[in-house]
């Protein structure tokens, strides 16, 4: 009689044996923490690198000054940020760039406030794209697309209220600043930041070696001072994007694999709990794009109650403002912090307005979701019109209007 070893391979019942799958190697929590810290360091370094490069470029050429003087038109600032954010699919990237430009004096507060609003609209495109993955199953697509619309409509309706409010109150005030900018400016004053960045601020001290290294390499390789600034800014831009991508990937790997079962059983029992989960999960993964897009397929599969999605989206939008705050700490000046606080105010006020009136965005989303599920052209029309055609047409029409006035 033949003896078998202590661990014979499992049989499939057909005379063949299956090869056991290798165990999944989990990265230790402490190592993920170190990795997250490095990502944060490169993120802050990238912001200061962009600021240094743009400052050098601005000192040698007035192109940025002229561009942002033109960009003071609120509508162009809004629509431009919509297009940029829709392309890079990250409001964190756009808002961090906006805060840095304000800190270096290359963008005015007035332009930045409206650009922040546009970034909130532009980040909604990802959820719509995720919903389109469910096209083959009509019932799932209807729920998924409706869930994506909750996120879109919250931002669109909030802009519809706060954009004219900020614009009109700015025109009526002697400083030219709207109500949101004034409230955020008061908050920045309470923090006590200076008007100009101190070269010895802690963040600048720890990031300076890498910034200086890139500046030195740029100076060695490029003879023109102006183009040296451009090169440093581009390297900073690439580093910013990469640090955000790797930060999200690291945190998503640590957290999101555990979320699905929790979403099913615990997180969405009340609106308040849904809002809190939106806040904390987005802070954890540093991306509202990730967390709101995660809700879309779960909603399509019927895992998440539709009535709890809007509070979750509101909480997620608030939590994504942490990137603006981080960007302001990398450039600790009053103007940068004012822009970051405007971003926070935008989402707080949006929630204060539309949660009591939640039947409005929910009804519109349910109506259009049903329409799109019956005729898929409506889904693609929404995507193209909101995130591409209307912004580009608006910019073009504004240019024509300005040219003939």
* Cα gap 13→399, rounded to integer Å: 73
- Asked if residue 346 is part of any domain, the answer here is yes
- Asked if residue 351 is part of any domain, the answer here is yes
pTM (global) more than 0.75:
no
Q: Are 181 and 113 in contact (CB under 8 A)?
A: yes
* Cα gap 361→376, rounded to integer Å: 21
* Cα gap 255→275, rounded to integer Å: 18
Q: CB 72: neighbour CB atoms within 10 A?
A: 14
Spell out the residues 6+ positions from residue 380 whose beta carbon is closer than 8 angstroms to its own.
132
Q: Are 351 and 117 in contact (CB under 8 A)?
A: no
Torsion of CA 114, 120, 126, 127, to 10 degrees: -140
User: CA 247: distance to chain centroid?
Assistant: 13
Torsion of CA 369, 140, 254, 36, to 10 degrees: -30
- Asked if residue 170 is part of any domain, the answer here is yes
Place of tokens 């603006």: 324
Question: DSSP 3-state assignment of 11?
Answer: strand
- Asked if residue 257 is part of any domain, the answer here is no
* Cα gap 405→393, rounded to integer Å: 18
- Asked if residue 284 is part of any domain, the answer here is yes
* Cα gap 299→294, rounded to integer Å: 9
Distances, alpha carbon 112 to alpha carbons 50, 116, 133, 265, 361, in Å: 17, 6, 34, 41, 27
Q: Domain containing 101: what range?
A: 29-250+265-403
Q: What is the 3-state secondary structure (H, E, C) of 136-168?
A: CCHHHHHHHHHHHHHHHHHHHHHHHHHHHHHHH
Report DSSP state, residue 194. B
Q: Are 221 and 204 in contact (CB under 8 A)?
A: no
* Cα gap 163→199, rounded to integer Å: 35
385's tokens: 């019109």
- Asked if residue 4 is part of any domain, the answer here is no
Half-sphere exposure of 122 (CA within 13 A, CB side): 29
* Cα gap 288→11, rounded to integer Å: 46
- Asked if residue 260 is part of any domain, the answer here is no
* Cα gap 360→272, rounded to integer Å: 19
Identify the pLDDT of residue 21: 46
Spell out the residues 6+ positions from residue 170 whose beta carbon is closer than 8 angstroms to its own.
110, 176, 177, 178, 181
Identify the pLDDT of residue 199: 53
Distances, alpha carbon 311 to alpha carbons 295, 306, 363, 401, in Å: 12, 10, 15, 40
pLDDT string in tens for the chain (405-residue length): 444 445 555 544 444 444 444 444 566 666 767 777 787 788 778 767 876 776 676 566 655 545 445 556 888 888 888 877 776 666 777 788 788 888 877 788 888 899 899 988 988 887 887 788 777 777 778 888 999 999 999 999 999 999 999 999 988 888 788 899 999 989 888 876 655 455 555 666 787 888 889 888 888 888 888 888 888 888 887 887 777 667 656 655 555 555 555 655 567 888 898 899 889 888 776 667 767 777 887 787 777 788 889 999 999 999 888 888 888 887 778 888 999 999 999 999 999 999 999 999 999 999 999 999 888 889 899 988 888 888 888 778 877 776 776
Q: Domain tally for the chain?
A: 1
- Asked if residue 356 is part of any domain, the answer here is yes
Q: Is 89 left (phi over 0), alpha (psi -120 to 50) or beta?
A: left
């Amino acid at each position: 009689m033949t003896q078998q070893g202590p661990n014979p391979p499992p049989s499939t019942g057909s005379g063949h044996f299956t090869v056991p799958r290798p165990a999944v190697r989990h990265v230790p929590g402490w190592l993920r923490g170190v990795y997250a810290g490095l990502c944060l360091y490169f993120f802050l370094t990238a912001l200061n690198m962009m600021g240094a490069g743009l400052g050098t470029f601005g000192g040698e050429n007035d192109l940025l000054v002229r561009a942002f003087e033109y960009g003071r038109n609120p509508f162009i600032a809004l629509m431009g940020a919509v297009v940029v954010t829709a392309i890079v699919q990250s409001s964190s990237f756009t808002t961090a760039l906006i805060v840095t430009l304000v800190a270096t004096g290359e963008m005015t507060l007035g332009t930045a406030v409206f650009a922040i609003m546009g970034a909130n609209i532009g980040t909604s495109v990802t959820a719509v794209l995720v919903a389109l993955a469910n096209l083959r199953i009509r019932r799932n697509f209807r729920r998924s697309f409706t869930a994506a619309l909750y996120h879109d409509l919250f931002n669109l309706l909030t802009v519809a209220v706060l954009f004219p409010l900020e614009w009109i109150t700015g025109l009526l005030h002697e400083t030219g600043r709207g109500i949101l900018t004034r409230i955020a400016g008061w908050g920045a004053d309470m923090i006590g930041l200076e008007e100009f960045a101190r070269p010895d601020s802690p963040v600048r001290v720890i990031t300076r070696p890498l910034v200086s290294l890139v500046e030195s390499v740029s100076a060695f390789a490029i003879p023109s001072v102006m183009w040296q600034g451009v090169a440093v800014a581009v390297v900073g831009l690439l580093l910013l994007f990469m640090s955000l991508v790797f930060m999200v990937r690291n945190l998503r790997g640590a957290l999101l694999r555990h979320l699905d079962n929790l979403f099913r059983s615990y997180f969405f029992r009340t609106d308040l709990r849904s809002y809190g989960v939106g806040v904390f999960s987005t802070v954890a993964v540093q991306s509202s794009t990730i967390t709101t897009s995660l809700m879309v397929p779960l909603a399509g599969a019927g895992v998440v109650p539709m009535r709890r999605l809007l509070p979750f989206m509101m909480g997620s939008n608030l939590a994504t403002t942490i990137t603006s705050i981080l960007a302001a700490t990398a450039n600790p000046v009053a103007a940068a912090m004012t822009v970051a606080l405007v971003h926070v105010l935008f989402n707080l006020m949006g929630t204060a307005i539309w949660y009591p009136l939640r039947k409005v965005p929910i009804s519109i989303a349910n109506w259009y979701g049903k329409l799109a599920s019956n005729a898929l052209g409506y889904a693609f029309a929404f995507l193209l019109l909101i995130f591409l055609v209307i912004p580009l047409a608006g910019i073009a029409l504004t240019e024509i209007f300005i040219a003939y006035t």
